[in-house]
Structure 1
Amino acid sequence: MACSRGAASPDAHTQRRLFAASAGYCQNPGCANELFVDAGGESFHIAEMAHVFAANDGGPRSNPQLSKAERGAFENLVVLCANCHTKVDKAPDAFPDSMMLGWKREHANKLRGLFGAVRFDDRAAARQVIEPLLAQNFAIFQQYGPHIEAALNPESGAAEQWKRKMLTRILPANRRVLAVLDANRHLLRDGEWATVERFRQHIDDLEAFHIEGSRQDASRFPGELSNILDV
């Protein structure tokens, strides 16, 4: 999600928040475009960071009273597909700031509903939501992870396939699991709180590696998470 707007550009942390908030989909509720696309044997993203109030004075929906830092803040950015980004900037009067901020809120509310990030009364109910997500991620890792034999062959395409699975499946599922756990901290036992925090750091490291291109090793997935909220 590139942006070359100087001080009005989001920093690395904001970029990760934006990616997490999008869950891999354009934040325009009238658009169903996925932000990661497979074509011609390659995987690429069409995600673009749109400024609600323009990065520069005189741009779409400009607000000269905002500082550069405020223009590059999470609250002033929406993740859109390339088509929607072009539309909102070419016709700013048709897409005012209130509409774009409304899109972001609606997208967040929709994700909260899809993610099942509600407060449950018992551990079994919360576990029922996260268990299939954990199973999905484990199955993807087993089949496509960097440990498989094909990953040793740079011409196999296995590395690109693994990155696509990470961006479109594993990272969004991780965020969903974390949202459910955060909403149900009242159900966690003492030792499980620490597991959730290790999982949070694991997610942060994975996103830094796969989204920002950080070369630092990611922390390991906490194995105890596989059994969290067991009754």
Structure 2
Amino acid sequence: MSCSRGQANPDTQTKLRLFADSGGYCQRPDCANRLFVDTGSKNIHLAEMAHIIAASGDGPRGDASVSQEDKGAYGNLILLCANCHTMVDKVPEDFPDALMQDWKRKHVERIAALFGAFEYSDRATARKALEPALAENRAIFEKYGPDNDYRENPESDDAKAWQRKMRSIILPNNRKVLAILDANRRHLNKGESGVLEAFRQHVDDLEVKHLGEGGNVAQRFPNGMNKILLEEASGS
């Protein structure tokens, strides 16, 4: 997801927001290409950040009246696979900026639906929607997580598998869990609301570490997440 266009180059937080909104898929509605692919030996990304209004005035959908800073802002960027990026830039007259903005909006709505990010009628149903993603992440952590024996050998096969699964499974699952909880905040008691915000910081730290600037500080997974929405609401 690289870009080298000076002030039109998005910052780390913008890149992470684009990744979160994509759900790991190209944001062109008719494209189902995954942006992060586990090949078996490596986890590769096919994601490319496309400027809706080109970074240069004479580029695809160029507009010299738009500042470089605005061109690098979240609102002017869309995350596409390499094929779709090439297509929209080669024939920009067929892909005006309004169309691409509509793609992005519809994709965010579609991902929310795929995530099951609906407001459910009760706590038990909301918890049921969360459980598959939480269980999958827990199983991966227990088998491949950094607390296992390989921690002294970051080049081991298990360490590499952990990195692949972090990017292709755990990070997207985290965003799914956040989306469902945010849609069902009314079912959370006061303590659970605090757990949700701690989990949000955990997710942000992991994304910066594994997708952004490679920071080494990450808030640990909050213990309360394992029981969130499981018991009857209390302490509100």
Global fold match (TM > 0.5): yes
Shift of residue 40, structure 1, vs aligned partner: 7.2
For 2:156 and 2:220, the matched residues in 1 are separated by 26
SS of 1:78's equivalent in the other structure is: strand
For 2:94 and 2:123, the matched residues in 1 are separated by 47
Which stretches in structure 1 are left out of the alignment for 5+ residues?
A: none
Partner of 1:44: 44
TM-score normalized with structure 1 length: 0.95
Which stretches in structure 2 are left out of the alignment for 5+ residues?
A: 232-236
Shift of residue 119, structure 1, vs aligned partner: 1.2
Shift of residue 202, structure 1, vs aligned partner: 0.4
TM-score normalized with structure 2 length: 0.93
For 1:125 and 1:69, the matched residues in 2 are separated by 44
> 1:38-82 deviations in whole A, cap 9, x for unaligned?
347222111110000001110000112211111011111000111
- Identical counterparts, % of pairs: 53
Partner of 1:223: 223
Q: Matched residue pairs, number?
A: 231
Shift of residue 161, structure 1, vs aligned partner: 1.6
SS of 2:221's equivalent in the other structure is: coil
Contact 1:36 1:45 in 2 (8 A): yes
> 1:82-138 deviations in whole A, cap 9, x for unaligned?
111111111101111122111111111111111111112210111110012111100
Shift of residue 155, structure 1, vs aligned partner: 4.5
SS of 2:118's equivalent in the other structure is: coil
Partner of 1:57: 57
Report the more deviating stretch, 201-210 or 117-126. Answer: 117-126
Partner of 1:115: 115
Which consecutive segments of 4 or more residues in structure 1 shift more than 4 A? none
Partner of 1:159: 159
CA root-mean-square deviation? 1.4
Partner of 2:200: 200
Contact 1:151 1:158 in 2 (8 A): no
For 1:113 and 1:184, the matched residues in 2 are separated by 14
For 1:203 and 1:140, the matched residues in 2 are separated by 16
Letter in 2 for 1:156: S
Contact 1:36 1:44 in 2 (8 A): yes
Report the more deviating stretch, 146-155 or 112-121. Answer: 146-155
Partner of 1:106: 106
Partner of 1:171: 171
For 1:155 and 1:196, the matched residues in 2 are separated by 33
Report the more deviating stretch, 93-102 or 196-205. Answer: 93-102
Relative to structure 1, the CA distance from residue 118 to residue 40 in structure 2 (aligned partners, 3 Å threshold; closer, same or farther) is closer
Partner of 1:3: 3
Contact 2:24 2:172 in 1 (8 A): yes
Letter in 2 for 1:148: N
Asked whether 1:69 is paired with 2:69, we answer yes
Letter in 1 for 2:28: N
For 1:46 and 1:158, the matched residues in 2 are separated by 23
Shift of residue 37, structure 1, vs aligned partner: 2.3
Letter in 1 for 2:134: L
